[in-house]
Amino acid sequence: MARDVRQVVAGLLTGSMLMMLCNMVKRDHFDPLVVENLSVQYDVIKVSKQSLIKLSDTSRGSLLMENHSLKPCWRKPLTINEEQSKGYIFFTLTESFEDHVSQIADAVVVARYLGATLVLPEIRGTKTGHKRQFGDIYDIKRFMTSLDGIVQIVRDPPTESSKVNITNIKVPSMVTKDFIASKIQPIFKAKRNLFLSTEFQSSNLAKAKEIDQNIKMDPFACLAIFGSLELQQELNQLVSTMVGTLRSLSYKTNGQFVAVDLKVEALGSMCKGNVIKTKQCYNAKEIGEFLKKIGFQRHTTIYLTQNGWHSSIDALREIFPNTFTKDAIIPAYEKAKYQITKSPEFEKVIDFQICTQADVFVPTISNLFYTNVVAKRIASGKTEVLVPTQKVSTSSVAMEYVSPYISKKSHWAYSCLC
């Protein structure tokens, strides 16, 4: 009989604990910064395009945009380029992941029109003298297969080509066939082996817009950008896991989340001297107020590209409590494996990919990261890119803040995709 009483008491206690746990879930009594052990079930989430903004409030507007994945405007040549290589093109990728799109496109275009062999690049590390292999970040097989018949690619050139007669040459970002013919080809004929360095466009917003509107992409550059670059398998899986965690945290918005490119250090160095009427940078508090103004709900999940936490981000988290950085959502074993805190190049890969896959992307600075994230989003049909207005505005209609890259179709990606 005593045993029966103990069993009854144990049953009551267990029931009470379950009720308390349910109440905690209902009241959101989970610290939004501790999510490592969260069970990821994003594959069963059905995403609704109307869940991030209160559509019942017609003054707030909505992001009811027609999103369709675009198809390539280019076609791979039917005739395969089997000419004997006339020389080699060398280049090194920078430590900034967003630069790679331009660098690889330029190298492929130059090698194609010169009839040269492209040497697989190394990736410069953030520390002097430190380098990574191309395969540490990218899928080498995919890269070489996708460009088969377009350019010859080798992992390592013949020894004699790697030691002598290599000429350094600078090329403008998005280099053209005419520039190659007039400026590069004469040097290549004389030297045969070139080391390319890409000169990037101005990060100034006005100049960047003017340049982007005038760019008509070379079809081989389009292929390099949208048809050849994929992350290596393990890194791609890590990004997928982190995106899945963000979607699981966004259970109140049907799995949708917002990615904001906000790095406190970058804001400090790039935004000094801006006048409010021509404002091009926005801090955490301003971003929070902006998202709230156009109707994003308090329980919206927000991903920040900031490395670690900074006290200035507290202002954003007061408005949107479910605000995270990568440190909070990356699995501990993966963080140790990739040495995330010691390897900024991997941090940039993760940021770029999450901003590309987020349901909504909000840039705080007009820079190459913003431009190239938008390129990838255009290709996948994720055109919800919101830019805080550069002019003083009281409008609370979300559609009025859609990036001009999208609303005016002024991005160079539209010359690649149909």
Summarised one tens digit per residue, pLDDT across range 283-295 is 899 999 999 999 9
| Helical spans, DSSP H, in 276-382 | 284-293, 314-319, 326-329, 332-338, 344-357, 368-380
Q: Rank 8-22, 64-78, 344-358 by mean pLDDT and report only the highest.
A: 344-358
Average pLDDT over the chain, rounded to whole?
A: 79
Residue 350 and residue 306: Cα distance in Å, rounded?
A: 11
Percent of the chain whose predicted confidence (pLDDT) is above 90: 52
Q: How confident is the model at residue 265 (pLDDT cuts 50, 70, 90)?
A: confident
Nearest alpha-carbon partner for 400 in 391, 415, 408, 389: 389
Percent of the chain whose predicted confidence (pLDDT) is above 70: 70
Residue 251 and residue 271: Cα distance in Å, rounded?
A: 35
Nearest alpha-carbon partner for 191 in 161, 151, 152, 158: 161
Neighbouring residues of 161: CB distance < 8 A, sequence distance ≥ 6: 87, 88, 193
CB atoms within 10 A of CB 371: 23
pLDDT of 51 higher than 80? no
The mean per-residue pLDDT over the stretch 341-368 comes to 89
Q: How far is CA 369 from CA 348, 365, 366, 410, in A?
A: 10, 9, 8, 16
- Look at residue 153 in the predicted model and tell me its pLDDT: 95
Summarised one tens digit per residue, pLDDT across range 104-126 is 999 999 999 999 999 999 999 77
pLDDT of 180 higher than 50? yes
Residue 15 identity (one-letter amino acid): G
pLDDT of 80 higher than 80? no
pLDDT of 250 higher than 80? yes
The mean per-residue pLDDT over the stretch 327-334 comes to 87
- CB-CB contact of 309 with 279 (8 Å): no
Pick 218 or 211 by higher pLDDT. Answer: 218
The mean per-residue pLDDT over the stretch 34-47 comes to 36
pLDDT of 33 higher than 80? no
Neighbouring residues of 408: CB distance < 8 A, sequence distance ≥ 6: none
Q: How confident is the model at residue 45 (pLDDT cuts 50, 70, 90)?
A: very low
Q: 227 is written with which tokens? A: 């048809």
pLDDT of 37 higher than 50? no
The mean per-residue pLDDT over the stretch 194-206 comes to 72
- Look at residue 151 in the predicted model and tell me its pLDDT: 93
Give the strand order in the sheet containing 301-304.
323-324, 301-304, 257-261, 360-363
Q: How confident is the model at residue 19 (pLDDT cuts 50, 70, 90)?
A: low
pLDDT of 165 higher than 90? no
Residue 32 identity (one-letter amino acid): P
